[in-house]
Amino acid sequence: MKKSKYSFKQLCADLHLWLGIATSIVLVIVCFTGTIYTYEAEIKAFYDRHVSSVKSTDGQKESVDQLVEKLSKDHTVFSIKIPAEEEKAYVINMATPEEIKEAKDSKERRRRIGGQYYVDQYSSEILGSPNPTAQKSMMTLMMIHRHIGLGWDIGRPIVGWSTIIFIIISLTGFVLWLPKKWKQLKGGLTFKKNAGWKRINYDLHNVLGFYSLILILLMAITGPFWSFDWYRTGLNKMLTGQEKFSRGEKPKVDKASLKGPSTVTYEEILAKANNKLDYKGDVSLSLPSKKSPFVTLRKTNKASFFSLQFTDQLYFNPKNGEIVKAELFQDKTLGQQLMSLVKAIHLGYVFSGFSKLLYFLSCLIATTLPVTGLIIWINKLKKKNQRKNKQSKAVLA
């Protein structure tokens, strides 16, 4: 009885080919939009550069309390973002009474109240708002990345399953890349010199695919986090052992203890926070509201080549400035830390700008892989047909 010649490597080849063909269009769209979205913050900053910087840093800064007091004459202030860079303007989320009334009367469920404004912390001058074209363009790009323009109900599961399939394609591609002998290893790591276009296309797929494999897998593994609840729950359970994924629960305290005249200023709260979180970073201060009666402070450190970009969160009693709850990155388990870094890992800003550059290049390569792979397949089909034609002619002769 003859043994089957269908090997594990042949199985990987078939999976790699047919799954790649089935998801090629979706993956090209998702990877291309992801390539551009890697530099979303930098693109927005470029278009906002004329209004996001203060005119002079020579004067005395206004305190947060002074800014809130002045701006509250015409607006309701919701939050203040304080950049780590002195020359950058504060970003304040606020709304006029008319905007609040309009939002309350609106039938839209998740209508955002007000908007963001750049404010000079030295003069209290409102410098302007984020560029609406850049904001809308990046939002559209993100929506295409998330559901390829087909809407949440249809597009999101298509993107989610295509991304999961991409994990299989990447792993089977690695199996196919593995050389049979060690002396063949160089061929999988370098481009062949003086080669024809077919060989160049093959190397673009094979060599670049190998070098970008780890980052592509990181992007693919974290991608379905936003597509499926079951995937997010399963990933969380695997990493943390907890049944439900939580972005952090608000502290449970007697609300009566939060009411009454305040004996502490926002500046004192900031000072206390910076003393506890002794590192350079952007600070976001959310003022008390009906939904959250606390002063919530988030501080994100500046990532470097050797340190992660992470966020710590503190809840303060607005009455006396006491820390009600602290959610510190260093206090979390490894699994919890990884869950809190999923977005940073997916987008590549978990380390410095160097990691974003690597992600940009890897995502760009991932965009080309379905194309170069399809060309390899077409060339093989042509070669196979040519061989069959030659055999047919030889038989007839």
Position 90 scores a pLDDT of 95
Position 304 scores a pLDDT of 67
Residues 6+ away with beta carbon under 8 Å from 94: 71, 75, 76, 77, 78, 114, 115, 117
Position 384 scores a pLDDT of 80
Position 195 scores a pLDDT of 86
Alpha-carbon torsion, ordered 152, 157, 162, 168, to 10 deg: 140
Question: Structure tokens of 189?
Answer: 């790591």
Position 172 scores a pLDDT of 96
* Residues of the chain predicted below pLDDT 50: 1, 109
Helices (H) and strands (E) in the chain, counts: 14, 8
Position 316 scores a pLDDT of 93
Q: What distances in angstroms separate CA 118 from CA 64, 82, 124, 148, 355, one per listed residue?
A: 14, 11, 10, 32, 28
The percent helix, strand, coil of the chain (3-state, each to 5) is 55, 10, 30
DSSP letter at 180? Answer: S
Q: What distances in angstroms separate CA 356 from CA 46, 141, 269, one per listed residue?
A: 17, 18, 33
Position 6 scores a pLDDT of 74
pTM, rounded to two decimals = 0.86
Position 218 scores a pLDDT of 95
Position 1 scores a pLDDT of 47
Residue 301 and residue 316: Cα distance in Å, rounded?
20
Position 290 scores a pLDDT of 81
Position 108 scores a pLDDT of 55
Residues 6+ away with beta carbon under 8 Å from 352: 303, 304, 305
3-state secondary structure of 299: strand
State the burial class of residue 30 (Cβ atoms within 10 Å of its Cβ: 0-12, 13-18, 19+).
buried
Position 360 scores a pLDDT of 95
